[in-house]
Structure 1
Amino acid sequence: MTDTAATEMEVPAGMLHDATDVLDPLADAEEGVVKNRAKVGSARPSSLLYTYGPGAIMDLPGFSVMPAGLDDWVPIWKRREHIPSILEPRLVNVVRLHLGPQVDALRPYPWQPKQGAMSKEGADLGIPARVFPQWFRCTGCDYLGPLPRFSYTNTHPFRPDLAQFTHKSCPGRSRSKPVGAAGKRESPAVPAQHLLTCTNGHLDEFPYMLWVHRGGKCAKAELPDLKMRDANVGRSVGSVIACASCGATRGMAEAQGSIGRDKLPQKCRGRHPHLGAFDSDCGARPALIMMGASNLWFASTQSIIVMPRTEAEEKKALADRLRVELGLDQVKQFGDQVAVIRALASAKGIEMSDVTDEDLVTAIADVLAPAGSEEDRQEKLAAWDPVELLVPEWRYLQKPALFPQQTNSSGLMVTEMQRGPKLNPKISRVVAVNQMKKVNAVLGFTRLDEMDRVNDLASRLVKLTRNGKPTWVPATEDRGEGIFLQLDLEAVAQWESAIRETSLWMAHQAAHKRNFRRRFSETAKQVDPDKRLPAPRYWLLHTLSHVLIRAMAMECGYGAASLSERIYGWTATPQREAAAGLLICTTASDSEGTLGGLVALSEPTRLEGLMVSALRRAARCSSDPVCATRTPSDPEDFLHGAACHCCSFASETSCEKANRFLDRRFLLDLPTATGESVPGFFGRVDDL
Structure 2
Amino acid sequence: MADFSPGPNQLDPLGDAERLGEAGTKKNFAKVGSARPSSLMFTYGPGAIVELPHFTVMPSGLDAWERIWARRDGIPHVHAPKLLDAVRRQLGQQVLELRPFPHQPTTSPFDDEGRDLGIPARVFPQWLRCTGCDRLAGISTFEYKNTHPYRPDEAKFEHVGCPGRGKGRKGGGRRRSLALPARYLLTCTNGHLDEFPYELWVHHGQPCPTAAVPALRMTESTLARGASSTIRCNSCGASRTMSEAQGAAGQAKLPACRGRHPHLDAYATGGCNAVTHLILIGASNLWFPILQRVIVLPMDAGEHTGSLADRLRVLVGEDLTDYVGNLGFLRKLLKDKLDITKVSDEALAEALDAAIATPDPSEEAKATAEWSPLDLIAPEWMYLTRGVGGQHHEDEASGLTLSQRPIAPGLPSAITRVLAVERLREASALLGFTRLDALDRIDDEPARRAQLSLTAPRWAVATLNRGEGIFLEFDEQAISDWEARVEASTLWGAHVEAHRRNFANRLSSTATNVDPDSRLRPPRYWLLHTFAHVLLREMAMSSGYGAASISERLYAWQADGQHPAAAGLLLLTTSSDSDGTLGGLVQLSEPERLRRIVDAALGRARRCSSDPICAHRTPKDPEDFLHGAACHNCTMASETSCETANRFLDRRFLIGLPGEYTGLGFFEVSS
TM-score normalized by structure 2?
0.93
Report SS of the residue matched to 1:537.
helix
The residue that corresponds to 1:655 in the other structure is 642
After TM superposition, give the deviation of residue 80 of structure 1 in Å. Answer: 2.3
C-alpha distance in 2, partners of 1:444/1:326? 28
CA 1:229–1:549 in 2, change beyond 3 Å: closer, same or farther? Answer: farther
Q: Residue 683 in 1 paired to residue 635 in 2?
A: no
Cα distance between partner residues in 1 of 2:227 and 2:51? 24
Per-residue CA shift, 1:358-416, capped at 9, x if unaligned?
A: 2222212211111121x543433232211111112111111342553433222000111
Q: Is the aligned partner of 1:81 residue 2:73?
A: yes
| Counterpart pick for 1:104 among 96, 117, 122 | 96
Query: How do 1:27-426 residues align onto structure 2 when only pairs under 5 Å count?
Result: 27-29=15-17, 31=20, 35-177=27-169, 182=172, 184-233=174-223, 238-265=228-255, 267-279=256-268, 280-327=270-317, 329-352=318-341, 354-373=342-361, 375-399=362-386, 400-401=388-389, 404-426=392-414
Unaligned segments of structure 1, at least 5 residues: 1-10
Cα distance in structure 2, aligned partners of 1:341 and 1:418: 49
Q: What letter corresponds to residue 606 of structure 1 in structure 2? A: R
For residues 141-193 of structure 1, the C-alpha deviation after alignment (integer angstroms, 9 at most, x for no partner) is: 22222211222221111111111222222233334449xx6265322222222
| 1:551 and 2:551 correspond | no
Identity of aligned residues (%): 53
Task: Write the deviation string for residues 535-572 of structure 1: whole angstroms up to 9, x where unpaired.
Answer: 11112111222222222222211222222111111112
Partners of 2:658 and 2:306 lie apart in 1 by: 54
Moved more, 156-165 or 541-550: 541-550
Change (3 A) 1:678 1:146: farther
Deviations 1:500-532 (A, max 9, x none): 122332232233333334556444223332222
Q: Distance in 2 between matches of 1:377 and 1:314?
A: 20
Matched letter for residue 130 of structure 2: C
* Counterparts of 1:651 and 1:416, CA distance in 2: 29
The 5 A counterparts of 1:445-524 are 445-454=433-442, 456-467=444-455, 469-519=456-506, 521-524=508-511
Are 1:87 and 1:320, in contact at CA under 8 Å, matched by a contact in 2?
Answer: no
| Structure 1 residues 550-589: aligned runs within 5 Å | 550-589=537-576
Spell out the pairing of 1:17-28 with structure 2 (5 A cutoff).
17=7, 25-28=13-16
1:363 is paired with a residue whose SS is: helix
Q: CA separation in 2, counterparts of 1:219 and 1:338?
A: 74
TM-aligned CA distance change 1:608 to 1:202, over 3 Å: same
Q: Would you say the 8 A contact 2:429–2:462 is kept in 1?
A: yes
1:27 is displaced (CA, Å) by 2.0
My pick for the range that moved more, 41-50 or 162-171, is 162-171
Residue-by-residue CA offset, 1:311-369 (whole Å, 9 max, x unaligned): 33322322222222222x021332343332233233422323x3333222221221111
Segments of structure 2 that go 5 or more residues without pairing to the other structure are none
Shift of 1:232: 4.2
Q: Check whether the contact 1:335–1:364 (CA below 8 A) recurs between aligned residues.
A: yes
CA gap of 1:644–1:219, structure 2 versus 1, over 3 A, is: farther
Deviation, 1:128, is 0.3
Output the amino acid matched with 1:130: R
Deviation digits for residues 276-302 of structure 1 (CA, Å, limit 9, x no counterpart): 000133110110111111111111111
Q: Does 1:664 align with 2:651?
A: yes
Q: CA deviation at 1:235?
A: 9.3
| 2:443–2:512 contact (8 Å) kept in structure 1 | no
- Answer whether contact 2:128 2:181 (CA < 8 A) is retained: yes
Q: Give the 3 Å change call, closer, same or farther, for CA 640–260 of structure 1 in structure 2.
A: farther
**C-alpha distance in 2, partners of 1:395/1:232?**
58
Whether 1:637 and 2:624 are equivalent positions in the alignment is yes
Query: Following the alignment from structure 2 to structure 1, what is the Cα–Cα distance between the partners of residues 209 and 297?
Result: 68
Q: Tell me, what secondary structure is at the counterpart of 1:598? A: helix
Cα distance change on mapping 1:558 and 1:592 into 2, 3 Å: closer
Cα pair 1:454 1:532 within 8 Å, conserved? no
Q: Are the aligned partners of 2:393 and 2:402 in contact in 1 as well (CA < 8 Å)?
A: no
Cα gap change, 1:642 to 1:171, in 2 (>3 Å): farther
The SS at the match of 1:359 is: helix
Residues 122-142 of structure 1 show CA distances to partners (whole Å, capped at 9, x for unaligned) of 223111001111122222222
What amino acid sits opposite 1:342 in the alignment?
R
In structure 2, C-alpha distance between the alignment counterparts of 1:645 and 1:651, rounded to whole Å: 9
RMSD: 2.5
Query: C-alpha deviations, 1:25-65, integer Å up to 9, x for none?
Result: 42234646764211111111111111111111111111111
Structure 2: distance between partners of 1:313 and 1:288: 47
Deviation at 1:678, TM superposition (A): 5.8
Read off the aligned partner of 2:395 and give its amino acid letter: T
Matches of 1:235 and 1:334 in 2, distance apart? 68
Give the aligned partner of residue 5 of structure 1: none
Q: Which amino acid aligns with 1:324?
A: V
Question: Partner letter of residue 409 of structure 1?
Answer: A
SS for the counterpart of 2:159 is strand
Kindly provide the amino acid, as one letter, of the partner of residue 307 in structure 1.
L
Q: Distance in 2 between matches of 1:261 and 1:644?
A: 36
Deviation at 1:250, TM superposition (A): 2.2
SS of match in other structure, 1:525: coil
Partners of 2:323 and 2:227 in 1: CA distance: 69
Structure 1 residue 237 displacement after superposition = 6.2
Letter in 1 for 2:305: K
Q: What's 2:430 paired with?
A: 442
- How many positions carry a matched residue from both structures? 665
